[in-house]
Chain A
């Protein structure tokens, strides 16, 4: 079954600790994205990557870091510099700009709810 897997579904961390959220896809998509969802804020783009070993900052990248060492994987690290990390995080992928169909719709994982205490 092709899809995107985010793990874990729920994550609790102490304030000041870094934490890494996992995102894996087996859709052979080039593009991957991380979004943060807060009530009333919609989905805000944190980081995105169109190709392995390359990624760009989104609208709210401060306090986050990513890597894209493999096509299938795009982990997100929430660092201690992120002032308000408690949120719902969504990972997504899409075919990407390398395909003649262009950057079509995003396919989403089930999300990770991060709570920092």
Chain B
């Protein structure tokens, strides 16, 4: 069975600095998708970034980028120039042809 592990329950970063959130996963499949979702206090789930496993190039979306290491089954999220609005829960997710599963999340605090 596939699993997603986020080993950092909470993290803090100074405003304008860079922070990296970690995620590892376990799967025997070769083709899948990985995602990072943001959940602000409103609890609405917002897609931050998506990575397709067959693509070697790391995905980027403005200040958000990932470091995808397929062999190591690692998928970390880097947030550059952190802003107060980035404060939220961040969930790593894995998707295959069957279902979408999530990690336990990392709560990110932004220090002014």
Contact = CB atoms under 8 A, between A and B. Distances in A.
Interface of A: 33, 35, 40-45, 48, 50, 56, 58-59, 88, 90, 92, 94, 97, 102-106, 108, 110-111
Interface string B95-106: 111111111110
Given A103-B100, A105-B35, A106-B93, 7 more contacts: A33-B99, A42-B103, A44-B102, A88-B43, A103-B96, A105-B50, A105-B100
Given A105-B47, A110-B44, A111-B43, A42 B98 contact: no
B91 A42 contact: yes
Nearest to A90: B45
A23 to B, nearest CB: 14
B60 to A, nearest CB: 16
Q: How large is the interface on B (under 10, 10 to 19, 20 to 34, 35 or more residues)?
A: 20 to 34
Interface of B: 6, 9, 31, 33, 35, 43-45, 47, 50, 91, 93, 95-105
Given A40-B9, A88-B43, A106 B100 contact: yes
A58 to B, nearest CB: 7
A104 B50 CA distance: 9
B100 A94 contact: yes
Given A88-B43, A111-B43, A103 B102 contact: no
9 contacts: A43-B105, A50-B98, A56-B98, A94-B100, A97-B97, A102-B97, A103-B97, A105-B47, A105-B95
B91 A94 contact: no
A41 B47 CA distance: 19
B83 to A, nearest CB: 23
Nearest to A48: B99
A42 B104 CA distance: 4
Contacts of B97: 97, 102-103
